[in-house]
Structure 1
C-alpha cells in the first residue's frame, strides 16, 4: 500500500515543480530540491500510515540553552512542521508528519510553503545559530 502513496506523492512533487534528486522506490524515499524556496535535500519517507518530511537545516557548534529556547519559541509560529534536534543535539532539522490516507496536494503544498516561509523569515537567526 505504501508504494501507491509513493507514486501519488511523487506525482504531487512533479506537479509542484520539485527537482527529484534521489528516488528509492523500494524504501519509499524521495529526496527533493526547490532551490528558489530554499528547500534543499528535503527527505520524504512514505511509511504507512505517515509521510515524514525532514530537511537538515544546520549544525550547531555546541549545546546552547539560549539557541534551544529560541528554536522552541519559533516553533510556536511555524504553521506546519517544527524544528527538531537529532540524537546528538547538534543537528537542527525541520520535520513534519502527515497522514497518508487522506493527503492531498494542497495539504502537502502547505508544508512546503511553511518551510519556505520559515527559511526566508528566520534565515538570519539560523545562520547566527550555526556560528554561535
Structure 2
C-alpha cells in the first residue's frame, strides 16, 4: 500500500465522507455523503494520478442531444467533467489529480465541483434520464 493511498484516505476522513467500500490491494475507496450529492464516489489511487468517478445516470435509450449538452455543461465545471462509460452505458462525473502534489484542499475542491455540477444540472439530467 502506497503512502499516497493512506494520505488520500486521511483527507477523505477529514472531509467527513463515509467509506462504503475499501480495496487496499487496488488502492481504491468508495465514499458517500448523500447530503452533498456524493453517492458511491470511487476514489482510485493509480500512481501517478488519483481518479475520482461517480455514476450519474444510465445513458437513455433515446439520448437526443444529451451528448451535446454534456459538452456544454462541461464548459461550466470548475474541476472534472461529465463523461460516458460505453461498457456500462453510464454518464459519470470524472476528475483526475496528480498524487505527488495532492493536498486536502485540492481533493475537497474536486469533490465540491461534483456537488456544484449536480446542483447546477440535476433537473436537466433528470429529464434526460426519463427519455
TM-score (norm 1): 0.94
**CA distance in structure 2 between the partners assigned to 1:60 and 1:127 by the alignment:** 11
Task: Look up the match of 1:125.
Answer: 124
Task: Look up the match of 1:62.
Answer: 61
Is residue 63–residue 128 contact of structure 2 (8 Å, CA) maintained in 1? no
Which SS does the other structure have where 1:84 is aligned? strand
TM superposition shift of 1:34: 1.1
Is residue 55–residue 94 contact of structure 1 (8 Å, CA) maintained in 2? yes
Question: Which stretches in structure 2 are left out of the alignment for 5+ residues?
Answer: none
User: Larger helix proportion, structure 1 or 2?
Assistant: 1
Task: Look up the match of 2:14.
Answer: 15
Which SS does the other structure have where 2:73 is aligned? helix
**CA distance in structure 1 between the partners assigned to 2:76 and 2:68 by the alignment:** 13
The alignment status of 1:5 with 2:7, answered yes or no, reads no
User: What is the aligned length?
Assistant: 131
Which SS does the other structure have where 1:26 is aligned? coil
Is residue 27–residue 44 contact of structure 2 (8 Å, CA) maintained in 1? yes
Query: CA offsets per residue over residues 12-60 of structure 1, 9 Å max, x none?
Result: 0000100011011111000000111110000011010000000000002
Give the superposed CA RMSD. Answer: 1.3
> For 1:88-127, what aligned pairs fall within 5 Å after superposition?
88=87, 90-127=89-126
Task: Look up the match of 1:53.
Answer: 52
Is residue 60–residue 131 contact of structure 1 (8 Å, CA) maintained in 2? no
TM superposition shift of 1:65: 4.6
Which SS does the other structure have where 1:56 is aligned? strand
TM superposition shift of 1:94: 0.3
TM superposition shift of 1:120: 1.1
